[in-house]
Amino acid sequence: MINWNGVVSLFIACLEFILFINLLIFAQKNRINAMVFILIALLMIYQVFEFLMCMLNLQYPFMAYLAFVDISFLPPLNFYFIFSYAGYRHKLFKLIFLPALVFVVYYFLVIDKFAVTACTVLYASYSYPLGGWYAFFYYSPIAAVIILLSIKIGKQREAVRKKLLKVLLFGLIFIFIPVIAAFVLYAAGDKLLLEIIESIMCKFAFVYAVCLAYFSLLNKNADNERSNSKYLFNYK
């Protein structure tokens, strides 16, 4: 029989690759858009890893580790991207990458504890140490960005920028839907969605990749480096 496990990951990876190439060709090259390019590339690479593990049965601990290295930098990079676009450029914001670096180093030291526990057409599930702590540091930057965007959208009066912020907020809320559903189901005694949440979130993140692509194509401010909170948001 044909092994269809991982085929959805391959399909999404191809779509994200098309988005990535189009952005390289058509989007303006600036600091903010560069972070968008990297975010979409990381999403695409994770889907490739999932395809390799599930369809080609490369289910080695090192492959699962590499997949986690890839997705570990998505929330902090997205945090840094949103806050940079909002004009917040404090050097301490770079510390948002520290938890990801700590987990990457720690997981490398215990790489033999990684395992791919299940593969299906739609998702993969993993076994790895410190899952609760990893989840906390993974979800926190996403939640922080959702809160920031929710507050700032109401203060933005420039039409195009307000629309772009709304697009980003929609994509992030869409990503967070399976997280909320997973905890609700877990409270009801069903742990399946929580056990496969990394894979499902990255599937939902395709919608965010589309939102990022839309943002990047419209983000034509050549002088992003001069952007600040006063420029982007109408403060009183």
The model's pLDDT over 169-228, given as tens digits with 9 standing for 90+, comes to 999 999 999 999 999 999 999 999 999 999 999 999 999 999 999 999 999 864 444 444
Percent of the chain with pLDDT over 70: 93
Q: Where are the domains of the chain?
A: 7-232
Q: Note every long-range contact of 147-156, with CB atoms under 8 Å and residues 24 or more positions apart, other chains counting.
A: 148/82, 148/83, 148/86, 149/82, 152/86, 152/232, 152/233, 155/233, 155/234, 155/235, 156/232, 156/233, 156/234
The model's pLDDT over 19-59, given as tens digits with 9 standing for 90+, comes to 999 999 999 999 999 999 999 999 999 999 999 999 999 99
